[in-house]
Amino acid sequence: SYVEDGCQGGTWELTTEANAATMLSSMSRSIKVATFASRFHGGQIDRIEQGFRELGHEVTPYVSEASLVYCNDAAHYTQAIADKADGHLRPGAKLILNVLDLAIHLGPAFPLATVAHQLTHADAVTTISATVQRDIAARLGIAATVVYNPIKPVTRTRERRHPYRAMFVGRTNDSEKRS
């Protein structure tokens, strides 16, 4: 489907092949972007906002000013969807909901039906990997676009020593990430 970009009457094509970053960088002029995300040291949203800025867009804390509202994780879907439903977004503004993971290993404790319903409110669904993209398609029947997060510096810690001659990347001490 095609949607108005809110700038100079152009359009964005939102397909599974589309890349949200390419969509934004190809726009004729900058837009305002509002973001929803968990904020903590080392989190993703700071780099994502920096990426929007480097593409020439303005990050605003006000959804009523934004042409694009980007929600980075499920913990913030409810507020972003409520703002859209209540008319707090400016006319023509688009909502992107990003899926970090479907934590199906949690079994019935993971609200799969709730997430599926929430994603139906998005103008576009993105995810951070092809694996999660396949999970969303298979389990929820929803097409998503993979948008890789910006890289961040890697630092060495002395948190845990391993007897292996290898480099561990990621959260090796997080039991939810070691499957």
pTM of the model: 0.72
Over residues 4-28, the pLDDT tens digits come to 333 333 333 343 334 455 554 555 5
Decide if 24 contacts 57 (C-beta within 8 A).
Answer: yes
Report the first-to-last Cα separation within the chain, whole angstroms.
37
Q: How far apart are CA 54 and CA 33, in angstroms?
A: 13
Structure confidence by residue, pLDDT tens digits, 98-144? 999 888 888 888 888 999 999 999 999 999 899 999 999 999 999 99
For the residues of 159-173, what is the DSSP string, one character each? S---SSSS---S-TT
Could you tell me whether strands 2-4 and 68-71 are parallel, antiparallel, or unpaired per DSSP bridges? unpaired
Report which residue type is found at 172. Answer: T
Which amino acid, one-letter code, is at 4? E
Instruction: State CA 83 to chain mean position distance.
Output: 17
